[in-house]
Structure 1
Amino acid sequence: MTVSQSHALARQAPFPHAVAGQALDSDLAENVLKWFETTAPWRLRVESFYEQYEMNLHEAELPQEVAPVLSDERVDSLRRQLLNPIEPQELILTEVNAHKLLPGQTIRIHNDYIGGEETHRVLIQLNRDWTDDCGGILMLFSGPTVEEVARLIRPRHASGMAFEISPTSYHAVSTIRSGERYTIVYSFKRAN
């Protein structure tokens, strides 16, 4: 398996996170994106702060060319590239989900904190020809209000972002204006 990954840049503010321009090799990213766009079994989920299509990749029947996204080798690679720069402790994968956002959908400010059941996330973006005009910008906040926006991260194809989940890991996704925005979400917890 060929894995061409870029170095992740880590920051501590507004909360511990790391970003890499290339987190998934091109062939695998293209295979997953094609499946997401065609026959993947999406289901709509509506909550108080978001509406999106989702699927649990452990429960879905993955095509052979998509299955490597769940391999131990892939998870270890993402852990080394994106999580090690922000978390020295051992992390255990808890689940892998995928999200799809369509025009008009948004994810309002939230922190993902559910009492320590999950402590870290890795997000892999799969968005062909995405531009700023499409919307869907990942926004990081230093507090729970829009005025506290601290960083904007474009959802570039095959890029990755990892962050520590805490009561202060406020983030959101701006409204999708055009296109379909896809994300693979790897969730982890501390081993101890």
Structure 2
Amino acid sequence: MLAQPIHHDSPFPFFYVNAAFSQDQCAALDSLFLQDGNWQHRDGAFYRCSLKDVTENIPDTFQAEVLTRMREITGLPLTNRVLVTAQRMLPGQAIGVHSDRPLVGYEIARLVVQLNKQWQTDHGGVLELFSSPESEAVFSVNPEYNKAFGFLLHVDSYHGVTEAIQPRQTVVFNFWHAANTPELAAHVQALFTDIHFSELPATLNPVATAAESSLPEETTFHAGMAALALHRWGYDETTVITGYQYSAGLSVCDSNDAETYAAVRLADWMACLYRDWFDLARWQILRRELAGIEMFTRLMPTWQLCLPE
């Protein structure tokens, strides 16, 4: 299964396997398109296809084998959560160029399995990869039968599918990073419920005012969210101000106090998740920064979700 993956780094990290599954496994995937079910039809200008959740139709052992191989191939701590969708494109349908950045709680990796027997070049439905939304395609993956394409979701993982001339069938396996789960998404949402920057200590006002006069609004908003996290975790005014300055890029926060150091970095990460997306490279930096540091009581719920063992 998924033997001898061929890796590429451009225009973003991905791999493909020419003969992904056994004959029996392919037959099981083929059967998904013969079953009745609730297909969700997307017929917008940008995204035209039909989708169906088929997770419960995939045997647990099959899912487990795919998950194990994806952990080996990507080297990522993927959770046991797997979502599988069947995708059907009819003649005339296409998918525009887009990137699937992983917001908080979203999946981190996908495996796209093509199930198109006797595919020919004039059948269309080619998966194309782009370096930017405006660029020409820099790599193409033909939807040949039993060919699998895997990639990490990223803000720059631009891809699209050319117009299908013949019907196109695909099964997509979705995987979650252990540090970006739906439980984390709920935790972030709860922390930042009912946002009121007025609840922050008044001593932060002159610092924030000065920052707002010279820094972009998105930077000061991010810093304000980090300060709010620290405040709601119960930290004092000095720590809240330190966190604001760190997240605004006004200081490096080389505190000798381990808890302040850890709290400021976790607050900054929580603000990133709320405002932006799950940046794998940035998460790896956070993990290195907090490696070997004691897990402090008031930070424990957040720490365990952001940096699971």
TM-score normalised by the shorter chain: which range applies? 0.7 to 0.9
Normalised TM-score (structure 1): 0.82
Aligned residue among 178, 193, 198 for 1:191: 178
Q: Which residue of 1 aligns with 2:247?
A: none
Residue deviations 1:45-85, cap 9 Å, x none?
234521111101136xx3xxxx33xx2x3234334445533
Taking structure 2 as the reference length, the TM-score comes to 0.53
Q: How far did residue 44 of structure 1 move? A: 1.3
Secondary structure, aligned partner of 1:167: coil
Greater mean alpha carbon deviation, residues 99-108 or residues 17-26: 17-26
Deviates more, 1:133-142 or 1:112-121: 112-121
Partners of 1:82 and 1:160 within 8 A in 2: no
Flag structure 2 segments of 5+ consecutive residues without an equivalent. Answer: 180-309
Does residue 39 of the first structure (1) align with residue 27 of the second (2)? no
Identify, as 1 or 2, the structure richer in strand.
1
Whether the 8 Å contact between 2:77 and 2:178 is mirrored in structure 1 is yes
**Structure 2 counterparts to residues 157-176 of structure 1, below 5 A:** 157-176=145-164
Task: After TM superposition, list the pairs within 5 Å mapping 1:1-192 onto structure 2.
Answer: 5-36=2-33, 38-41=34-37, 42-58=39-55, 62=57, 67-68=58-59, 71=60, 73-82=61-70, 84-85=72-73, 87-92=74-79, 93-116=81-104, 117-147=106-136, 149-178=137-166, 180-192=167-179
Q: Is 2:114–2:143's contact at 8 Å kept on the other side of the alignment?
A: yes
Identity among equivalent positions (%) equals 27
Q: In structure 1, what is the Cα distance between the partners aligned to 2:11 and 2:160?
A: 13
CA distance, structure 1, for counterparts of residue 125 and residue 99 of structure 2? 17
In structure 2, C-alpha distance between the alignment counterparts of 1:11 and 1:79, rounded to whole Å: 21
The answer to whether the 8 A contact 2:19-2:146 is kept is yes
When you count helix as a share of all residues, which structure comes out higher? Answer: 2
| Amino acid aligned to 2:122 | D
RMSD: 2.0
Larger mean Cα displacement after TM superposition, 110-119 or 18-27: 110-119
**Per-residue deviation at 1:189?**
1.7
Structure number with greater CO (CA < 8 Å, separation at least 6) is 1
